[in-house]
Amino acid sequence: MTDNTFEYAPAPESRAIVDIKPSYGLFINGEFVDGNGRAFKTINPATEEVLAEVAEADDADVDAAVRAARRAYTRVWSRMSGAERAKYLYRIARIIQERGRELAVLESIDNGKPIKESRDVDVPIVAAHFFYYAGWADKLQYSGYGSTPLGVAGQVIPWNFPLLMLAWKIAPALACGNTVVLKPAETTPLTALLFAEICQQADLPPGVVNIVTGAGETGRAIVSHPDVDKVAFTGSTEVGKAIARAVAGSDKKVTLELGGKAANIVFDDAPLDQAVEGIVNGIFFNQGHVCCAGSRLLVQESVAEEVMSRLKRRMATLRVGDPLDKNTDVGAINSAEQLSKIRELSEVGESEGAERWSAPCDLPSNGYWFAPTVFTGVSQAHRIAREEIFGPVLSVLTFRTPSEAVEKANNTPFGLSAGVWTDKGSRILSMANRLRAGVVWANTFNKFDPTSPFGGYKESGYGREGGRHGLEGYLKNTEKGANS
């Protein structure tokens, strides 16, 4: 027997299925056009290889996109029956399924996430999301939110789930009769541009979906454009606040899905092996680049040692490496910038006195990597217990009573998600009631579904995406002062 008895042979997914062009323009009014601005490079974070050059939309490009969206809204999309809109969305859902492998490979290349995740989680939920909202398009009168669209939606999405966030934004917007201008994140534009091609294949009327690539300036131009009726943003709390300030006094309707610092609470009667799987899934899924990640483990004192030893044993089996390898559990950190943030906060964790342990694993020499890491001896005052790290770094705190767990869990400006692990049903329901978070996962974690509303309390933002509730942000409330 050797040490590597349980090592897996490499099982890379083929890249041949994707065709990455050397450069990409903007998708405006149904066509790819050259932007006025400069171009920027998107790279593969697992290798640092440059994948393509992408246009950076300037104010004039954004204006052209908004005008195209307005034209499509006025002339076509708002006049079309819900039943017809639905058929376009169903078409899109079907094409996403047909081209699912291609989308998954491209997502893993551009983002760094493991192929088993993009293939088994992201892309299937993307297709399901379009399928779900397609069905709403001709049933809005039963939604409880009326059936009047807002107009043009400006949407800005992050790099952690590029295609999934696109689906969360575009599917409900279109189902409700709005047209969109969407900006993917600057480090992960490629699947959004492939989605633009899917819109062409679906014969979606020009201008209904416009994709403009770029960074913060492009996003600002969309958010502050006077002819945008709706702003939907997923990203950092800092940018979310800037958006809330920027739209003050306007008639724009806003939904914000921002940061989190979720508590994942493990009681002493929890099934510990399942809980450990949940902890691992909670913080190492998608390299911890998850706004609802279970980044604070609250473990009952009596089982803390047991949980930690099982957790470390499990972490040591995580396979970190090539995102395209079908056996990879943890992929690449999305960018050099994000890697340096994770490193910086981890160093702060050590200097503030918490004890750091990282899973022993060989990291590739090129690309951006961070080994799954856990901090013990963390106090509520530590920055690693308060700030969103957005990486594979878990902070562990302990508690004695349910009330102490609630107190610690809610002691954060965020309120996006929380987890509870216990075998006692009444305790689950009591904890679920007392945790101030928009999603509570009990004896599970990081579950997503098109029918299930997602969104936060407090500084994790406002509005919901997904489910019936997700329609509200894209329909007009006619009451006075109701922020449309």
Partner 1 sequence: MSRIDVRKTYKLYIGGQFPRSESGRSYVVNDAKGRLLANAAQASRKDARDAVLAARAAFGGWSGKTAYNRAQVVYRIAEVLEGRREQFEAELRASEGVSPAKARTYVDAAIDRLVWYAGWADKITQVVGNANPVAGPFFNLSSPEPSGVIAVVAPRGPLLGLVSVVAPLIITGNTVVVIASEDHPLTAITLGEVMATSDLPGGVVNVLTGSVAEIAPWLASHMDVNGIDLTGVTDADLAVELEVAAADNLKRVRRPAPGTDWLAEPDLDRMTRFLETKTVWHPIGV
Q: What is the binding site for partner 1 (CB under 8 A)? A: 128, 144, 237, 240-242, 244-245, 248-249, 256, 258, 413, 428, 432, 437-444, 447, 449, 451-455, 457-459, 461-462, 464, 467-469, 477, 479-483
Are 135 and 108 spatial neighbours (Cβ–Cβ below 8 Å)? no
Residue 413 beta carbon to partner 1: minimum distance, rounded to whole angstroms: 7
Residue 363 beta carbon to partner 1: minimum distance, rounded to whole angstroms: 33
- Whichever of 345 and 442 has its CB closer to partner 1, that residue is 442
How many angstroms separate the CA atoms of 46 and 12, rounded? Answer: 13
Q: What is the DSSP string of 308-338?
A: HHHHHHHHTT--BS-TTBTT-SB---S-HHH
The pair of structure tokens assigned to 356 is 């750091």
Q: Cα separations (Å) of 454 from 124, 291, 312, 407, 484?
A: 17, 11, 30, 23, 21
- Whichever of 141 and 201 has its CB closer to partner 1, that residue is 141
* Catalytic site residue from 257, 388, 459, 472: 257
Residue 260 beta carbon to partner 1: minimum distance, rounded to whole angstroms: 13
Residue 365 beta carbon to partner 1: minimum distance, rounded to whole angstroms: 39
Q: Interhelix angle for 82-98 vs 162-175, to 10°? A: 160
- Whichever of 377 and 453 has its CB closer to partner 1, that residue is 453
87-114 core/surface letters (b: 16 or more CB in 10 A; e: else): bbbbbbbbbbbebbbbbbbbbbbbbbbb
Contacts (Cβ under 8 Å, ≥6 apart) of 203? 88, 91
Burial of 447 (0-12, 13-18, 19+ CB in 10 A): exposed
**Short-list 461, 2, 484, 472, CA closest to 236:** 461
- Whichever of 244 and 348 has its CB closer to partner 1, that residue is 244
Residue 167 beta carbon to partner 1: minimum distance, rounded to whole angstroms: 15
Alpha helices in 286-445 (DSSP H): 304-315, 336-351, 383-386, 402-410, 425-434
355 carries an active-site annotation: no
Greatest CA separation for the chain: 74
- Whichever of 85 and 469 has its CB closer to partner 1, that residue is 469
How many angstroms separate the CA atoms of 253 and 484, rounded? Answer: 6
Q: Interhelix angle for 82-98 vs 100-111, to 10°? A: 70
To which H or E segment does residue 32 belong? strand 31-33
Single-letter amino acid, residue 83: A
Residue 255 beta carbon to partner 1: minimum distance, rounded to whole angstroms: 12
- Whichever of 205 and 438 has its CB closer to partner 1, that residue is 438
- Whichever of 164 and 199 has its CB closer to partner 1, that residue is 164
Residue 476 beta carbon to partner 1: minimum distance, rounded to whole angstroms: 12
Q: What is the CA radius of gyration of the chain?
A: 22
Residue 461 beta carbon to partner 1: minimum distance, rounded to whole angstroms: 6
**Short-list 173, 139, 128, CA closest to 448:** 128
- Whichever of 116 and 464 has its CB closer to partner 1, that residue is 464
Residue 271 beta carbon to partner 1: minimum distance, rounded to whole angstroms: 11
Contacts (Cβ under 8 Å, ≥6 apart) of 213? 24, 26, 35, 40, 54, 55, 56, 57, 183, 184, 186, 189, 192, 193
- Whichever of 32 and 90 has its CB closer to partner 1, that residue is 90
Sign (positive/negative) of CA torsion 137, 138, 142, 144?
Answer: positive
To which H or E segment does residue 55 belong? strand 49-55
Residues identified as active-site: 257
